Structure 1
């Protein structure tokens, strides 16, 4: 029998369910916390960095993994306003991010099923 993977926010907050985790993530974004990391019981890391319109969603197998991330291949341009916890302001090509609503769906699927949804455009950076 396969053990389910559980996810915890980097600050130690352990939501009771994937739905509760998503609600907490939305609350953090609304409060201006634009970079959030979760860690899994398998040692994986999931990052969500947003400017409240688009989000960079990254999944890493371990701390040395270049990882993989959600993309929007047809998107053009760049978006700024991605503010990291250390105060750094980043800008990303729109093709390397997803609209926030879609990004949150991807996060929910990852913390529920362990993988991005089949419908999500995804880039493997390894």
Structure 2
């Protein structure tokens, strides 16, 4: 977890606007409904939090700095051979990911809200470090 000198968790922003943890779910659901399936949050400390969704599942990535391979949420309870498509990036690219490297959308929203609130993964979330 990254903290400010006073010990408070660094603030997260979206497009330069501060984002409160309790607005994350509504904000992301609205963006996804509008077709904006890729969202990047930034923290004052240089960390990035990305969500790329296909409307049903989402890849959630937490990066410590630009160029960091980061860490991402995983779902060990799905078919390890399953894949989903429809992950539309802001640049128009359409990706597909293994289901094990994504989580159901509701879980993604819970994870992102927790990271925005406290700076770290929820204790019960599953993730892998890609560094």
**TM-score bin (small chain):** over 0.9
Distance 1:22 1:58 in 2: 16
Which moves more between the two structures, 34-43 or 20-29? 20-29
Query: Which digits, 9 at most, give the CA deviation of each residue in 1:48-100, with x for residues without a partner?
Result: 00000000000000011100000001212000000000000000000000000
Match among 58, 63, 66 for residue 66 of structure 2: 63
Q: Per-residue deviation at 1:19?
A: 1.1
Q: After TM superposition, what 4+ stretches of structure 1 lie above 4 angstroms from structure 2?
A: none
2:129 and 2:87 mapped to 1: Cα distance?
A: 21
Partner of 2:83: 78
Counterpart position of 1:3 = 8
Question: CA offset at residue 13 of structure 1?
Answer: 2.6
**Length, aligned pairs only:** 124
Which residue does the alignment assign to 2:96?
A: 91
Could you tell me which of 22, 39, 43 is aligned with 1:40?
43
> Structure 2 regions of 5+ residues with no counterpart?
1-5
2:3 corresponds to: none
TM-score (norm 1): 0.94
| Counterparts of 2:120 and 2:35, CA distance in 1 | 27
Q: Name 1:14's counterpart in structure 2.
A: 18
**2:112 is the counterpart of 1:104:** no
2:18 counterpart SS class: coil
Q: TM-score, normalised by structure 2?
A: 0.90
